Amino acid sequence: MTDIKDRQDIQLLVDSFYKKVIEDETIGFFFNEVVKLNWEKHMPLMYNFWETTLFHTALYKGNPMQAHLELNEKSAMKKIHFDQWIGLFKSTVDEHFQGTKAELAKQRAMSIAMIMQVKISQLE
């Protein structure tokens, strides 16, 4: 296996991850029922987000915290949901990549989830 090295790798990671998410019994409903995402619009945003996160390209323009706070208003996100999201993300990274950027992706995902959980818990 190789490390995450470019946008093509990010697309593989993101596509593989969301394929799992859509089918997941614990968190899939957020995407399939609560938000009813427009996947054609959402996926390029996620590619840009992770490319910006890992390679500092500044392609992503958005506020993921606000989007998730709004999601939480529609359907409460609990620790179990964040734990499942992290588990799926980390396993997807590990299935496809190994190296410094792969580890960074997992660390950033855990940090993002932790920050979101803290922000959401402050609203309760």
Domain boundaries, the chain: 7-123
Render pLDDT for 67-105 as a digit per residue (tens, 0 to 9).
Answer: 888 888 999 999 999 999 999 999 999 999 999 999 999
Residue 83: per-residue pLDDT: 96
Render pLDDT for 55-68 as a digit per residue (tens, 0 to 9).
Answer: 999 888 888 888 88
| 102-117 average pLDDT score | 96
Report which residue type is found at 15.
D
Residue 52: per-residue pLDDT: 96
| 6-23 average pLDDT score | 97
**Whether pLDDT at 123 is above 80:** no
DSSP of 80-117: HHHHHHHHHHHHHHHHHB-SHHHHHHHHHHHHHHHHHH
Taking CA atoms, 12 is separated from 37, 42, 75, 93, in Å, by 19, 15, 29, 10
DSSP state of 57: -
67 φ, ψ (degrees, to nearest 5): -60, -40
Report which residue type is found at 89.
F
Residue 29: per-residue pLDDT: 95
Report which residue type is found at 45.
L
Rounded to two decimals, what is the model's pTM? 0.92
Residue 124: per-residue pLDDT: 66
113 φ, ψ (degrees, to nearest 5): -60, -40
Residue 63: per-residue pLDDT: 87
CATH code of the domain made up of 7-123: 1.10.490.10
Give the span between the Cα atoms of 67 and 35, in whole angstroms: 10
Render pLDDT for 25-59 as a digit per residue (tens, 0 to 9).
Answer: 999 999 999 998 899 999 999 999 999 999 999 88
